[in-house]
Amino acid sequence: MDVHNPEQRSKNMRAIKSTATKAEVSLAKALWNLGYRYRKNNKTVFGKPDFTFKKLKIAVFVDSEFFHGKDWETRKKPQTNPEFWIKKIERNMQRDIEVNAHLEAQNWKILRFWSNDIKKNLDSCILEIQNAINERQNT
Q: What are the pLDDT digits (tens) for 68-112?
A: 999 898 888 888 888 999 999 999 999 999 999 999 999 999 999
Gap between the Cα atoms of 80 and 63, Å rounded: 22
pTM: 0.86
Q: Are 111 and 59 in contact (CB under 8 A)?
A: yes
Strand 51-53 with 58-63, pairing: antiparallel
Tens of pLDDT along 27-65?
Answer: 999 999 999 999 999 999 999 999 999 999 999 999 999
Instruction: Encode burial over 18-45: b for 16+ CB neighbours within 10 A, e otherwise.
Output: eeebebbebbbebbeeeeeebeeebeeb
